[in-house]
């Protein structure tokens, strides 16, 4: 069984290896496109022989597993069985070392081509963006001086006013999302901790279920959640609260449960030994140990939520993003700059405050 | 009417993956005994103690507690049996962030109402009992301190008070003084002895120190590699049996400490 797992790992790695080799060979052969690169995903897919790569990968993987001298060195074997040699051999002396090094190189090269890295443009074409940068920075600095001279542009002052009001909304939005997330995440985290869910088969099921649901929830972007809740409860800050709430629950369950998994098991044993029931064991053996880190995580999460809630506003989830988005679209960089500075100041302040509080708690 | 407190029959424990911690251990503890379990580090002493109150489930074998089979009990029945077994640990295992008082009160959780105990509210009678237990171990007036502010010896006395609060019929003590200053060992051991003598509690205790074994044990058993290799009174415990248990290289005369790394062949 474990040998089979090792074989599958090898197979996947070798197939990826071969696919990347083929991709690079095709890209540099110059047969396609004006630059010699493959441009669209369809073109790439048309040309790659993944079936053959997989078959060849399997063949090599089987060969690697069955050749006596090097079987131990296959990456799959090492991952599944763990390192078996005592002395540390430098990687240049093993087949696995070379294979891993090559695989990393290949991945980097392939990534370079796939994400269309253009170092030349990056280093030489800055002047095309100067307009935006000037708008973001210069106009606002300028406005400060103008204000001193008593000439505040009416429009800019308006944005500042609106921005401040919505900033308050943003902070409360983040706060409510966090507050709603705490009890739900707290209750669920006990089911998501491995060390508390080993005893009965029901609890093992709960563990798997909660972990799976939370992983899925967490991997869906808050922006997508916002879109879902906007059609559910309508445009406005409450949709944003719900979106951040869902995401915060998933994130907090992960942080909380990892904390629970790292507690000292001694008090749990001691309380269990008195004949206490499961809830009492949690209350006395677990909770006192995890409260300070939980508080710290929660404040950190509030901090993250403030940052996220600006983006949520882009799609109509309330908060300052709501007035930021149209100005970005219209290219009113001066006003965008004003708002960005407001957000930056808030995030900065939140960061300092949350760091201070967390310092106190732990 | 039987006088046995604990009967262990053919108990084995195999930990994942394939660690044989106990092999076919059988023994009986009579009521009122102070039974000391000795053996090298890793010989299975802690595992045996934890099997008796089912903190660990044995792989095979059965265990009776005052005539009732604890290895067959589940749920509420198991918890009810556990209230009769107090436990004292090498690392004290107090709730570090709670007060001393709250730690002592937690000894009575087995009989407390669920709701009240979750809110940490206790009846007046329980509080009086806890104060008395603290006074008895010489910590009267320290109830308000946070548990981790106390010294090691004081913390272990709080653990003794917690066991006293529980009012069990059996005490399991797993190296209760191994992490204490040698000068403080007798102060804690005397309190455990008093539970045995004055309260009539049966004690099963693991120890490493020859001195303590001969001073407190009424009977002695030894484990080696998970097997029971010796059973007898503390006075029959001579140099030969000592080597049997601890291996030929161990030195009882020059080194008073048994079973620590130095004694391993
Ligand atoms: N939870 C566990 N999982 C896996 N193996 C364990 C576990 N607990 C104990 N063991 C193993 O069982 C064996 C007996 O351990 P045990 O703790 O009972 O020994 P001990 O006699 O109490 O030793 P010490 O004097 O060091 O406390 C050891 O080999 C130990 O590694
Ligand atoms: Mg032990």
Q: What is the pLDDT of residues B55-81, one digit of tens each?
A: 999 999 999 999 889 998 888 899 999
Q: Over the range B1-20, which residues count as b (16 or more CB within 10 Å of their CB) and which as e?
A: eeeebbbbbebbbeeeeeee
Q: Would you put residue A221 in left (φ > 0), alpha (ψ -120 to 50) or beta? A: beta
What integer is the mean pLDDT of B151-176? 92
Report how far residue A240's alpha carbon sits from residue A250's, in angstroms, rounded to the nearest whole number: 16
- Give the number of the atom of ligand 1 that is nearest the alpha carbon of residue B175: 27
* Whether residue B17 sits in one domain with residue B140: no
Q: What is the pTM assigned to this prediction?
A: 0.75
* Whether residue B175 sits in one domain with residue B265: yes
Angstroms from B85 CA to nearest CA on chain A: 7
* pLDDT at residue number B36: 92
**Secondary-structure breakdown of chain A: helix, strand, coil percentages, each rounded to the nearest 5:** 80, 0, 20
* Whether residue B176 sits in one domain with residue B254: yes
Q: Is A154-361 assigned to CATH 1.10.3720.10?
A: yes
* Whether residue B181 sits in one domain with residue B163: no
B160: containing domain: 98-167
Answer whether residue A142 shows pLDDT above 70. Answer: no
Q: Tell which residue, B189, B252, B222, B260, has the closest CA to residue B45.
A: B222
Q: Which of B135, B167, B199 is the last residue of a domain?
A: B167
* Whether residue B39 sits in one domain with residue B149: no
Q: Are A303 and A350 in contact (CB under 8 A)?
A: yes
Inside any domain, residue B144: yes
Query: Considering Cα of A202, then A204, then A210, then A212, what sign does the dihedral take?
Result: negative
Inside any domain, residue B91: no
Q: Which of B167, B187, B202 is the last residue of a domain?
A: B167
* Whether residue B245 sits in one domain with residue B258: yes
Chain B residues within 8 A of A283 when measuring between CB atoms: 117-118
* Whether residue B123 sits in one domain with residue B246: no
Q: Which of B167, B187, B205 is the last residue of a domain?
A: B167
Give φ, ψ of B260 to 5 degrees: -80, 180
* Whether residue B142 sits in one domain with residue B102: yes
* pLDDT at residue number B11: 93
Write the burial class of residue A104 (CB in 10 Å: 0-12 exposed, 13-18 middle, 19+ buried): exposed
Answer whether residue B254 shows pLDDT above 50. Answer: no
- Give the number of the atom of ligand 1 that is nearest the alpha carbon of residue B44: 18
Answer whether residue B258 shows pLDDT above 60. Answer: no
B17–chain A Cβ distance below 8 A for any pair: no
Q: Is B80 in the pocket of ligand 1 (CB under 6 A)?
A: no
Q: Are B243 and B265 in contact (CB under 8 A)?
A: no
Inside any domain, residue B77: yes
Inside any domain, residue B93: no
Answer whether residue B265 shows pLDDT above 60. Answer: no
- CATH number of the domain encompassing residue B211: 3.40.50.300
Q: Tell which residue, A107, A111, A112, has the closest CA to residue A122.
A: A112
* Whether residue B163 sits in one domain with residue B185: no
Q: How many domains in chain B?
A: 2
In chain B, the DSSP E strands lie at 4-15, 19-30, 34-39, 60-65, 68-69, 85-88, 170-174, 202-206, 219-224, 227-232
* pLDDT at residue number B16: 81
Inside any domain, residue B116: yes
**What 3-state DSSP class applies to B219?**
strand
Inside any domain, residue B89: no
Inside any domain, residue B73: yes
Q: Tell which residue, A186, A219, A190, A167, has the closest CA to residue A298.
A: A186
B107–chain A Cβ distance below 8 A for any pair: yes
Inside any domain, residue B92: no
């Amino acid at each position: 069984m474990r040998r089979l797992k090792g074989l599958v790992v090898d197979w996947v790695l070798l197939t990826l290896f071969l696919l990347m080799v083929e991709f690079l060979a095709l890209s540099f052969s110059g047969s396609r496109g004006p630059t010699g690169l493959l441009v669209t995903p369809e073109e790439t897919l048309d040309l790659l022989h993944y079936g053959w790569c997989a078959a060849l990968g399997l063949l090599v993987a089987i060969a690697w597993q069955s050749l006596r001298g090097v079987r131990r060195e296959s990456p799959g074997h090492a991952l599944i069985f763990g390192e078996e040699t005592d002395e540390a051999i430098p990687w240049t002396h093993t087949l696995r070392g070379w294979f891993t090094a090559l695989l990393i190189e290949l991945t980097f090269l392939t990534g370079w081509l796939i994400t269309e890295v253009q170092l030349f443009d990056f280093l030489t074409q800055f002047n095309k963006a100067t307009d935006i940068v000037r708008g973001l920075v210069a106009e606002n600095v300028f406005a400060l001086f103008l204000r001193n001279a008593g000439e505040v542009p009416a429009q800019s002052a308006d944005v500042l006013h609106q921005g401040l009001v919505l900033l308050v909304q943003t902070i409360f939005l983040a706060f409510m999302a966090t507050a709603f997330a705490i009890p739900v995440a707290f209750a669920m985290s006990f089911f998501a901790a491995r060390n508390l869910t080993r005893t009965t088969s029901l609890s093992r099921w709960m563990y798997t279920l909660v972990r799976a649901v939370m992983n899925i929830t967490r991997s869906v972007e808050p922006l997508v959640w916002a879109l879902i809740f906007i059609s559910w409860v309508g445009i406005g800050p409450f949709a944003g609260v719900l979106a951040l709430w869902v995401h915060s629950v998933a994130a907090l369950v992960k942080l909380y449960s990892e904390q629970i998994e790292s507690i000292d098991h001694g008090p749990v044993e001691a309380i269990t030994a008195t004949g206490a029931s499961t809830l009492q064991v949690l209350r006395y053996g677990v909770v006192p140990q995890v409260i300070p880190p939980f508080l710290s995580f929660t404040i950190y999460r509030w901090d993250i939520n403030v940052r996220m809630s600006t983006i949520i506003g882009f799609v109509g989830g309330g908060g300052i993003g709501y007035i930021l988005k149209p100005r970005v679209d219209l290219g009113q960089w001066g006003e965008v700059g004003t708002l960005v500075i407001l957000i930056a100041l808030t995030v900065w302040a939140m960061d300092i405050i949350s760091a201070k509080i967390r310092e106190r708690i732990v | 009417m039987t006088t046995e407190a604990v009967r262990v029959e053919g108990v084995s424990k195999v930990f994942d993956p394939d660690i044989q911690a106990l092999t076919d251990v059988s023994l009986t503890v009579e009521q009122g005994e102070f039974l000391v379990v000795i053996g090298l580090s890793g010989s299975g002493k802690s595992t045996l103690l934890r099997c008796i109150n089912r903190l660990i489930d044995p792989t095979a074998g059965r265990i009776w507690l005052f005539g009732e089979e604890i290895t067959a009990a589940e749920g509420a029945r198991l918890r009810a049996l556990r209230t009769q077994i107090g436990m004292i640990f090498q690392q004290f295992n107090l709730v570090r962030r709670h007060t001393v008082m709250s730690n002592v009160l937690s000894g009575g959780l087995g009989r407390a109402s669920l709701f009240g105990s979750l809110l940490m509210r206790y009846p007046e009678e329980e509080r009086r009992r806890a104060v008395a237990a603290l006074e008895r171990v010489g910590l009267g007036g320290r109830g308000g301190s946070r548990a981790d502010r106390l010294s090691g010896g004081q913390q272990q006395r709080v653990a003794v008070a917690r066991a006293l609060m529980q009012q069990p019929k059996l005490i399991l003590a797993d190296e209760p003084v191994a992490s204490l200053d040698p000068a403080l060992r007798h102060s804690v051991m005397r309190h455990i002895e008093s539970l045995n003598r004055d309260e009539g509690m049966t004690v099963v205790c693991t120890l490493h120190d020859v001195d303590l074994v001969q001073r407190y044990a009424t009977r002695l058993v030894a484990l080696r590699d998970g097997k029971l290799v010796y059973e007898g009174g503390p006075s029959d415990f001579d140099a030969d049996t000592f080597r049997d248990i601890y291996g030929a290289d161990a030195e009882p005369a020059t080194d008073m400490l048994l079973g620590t790394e130095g004694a391993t062949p």
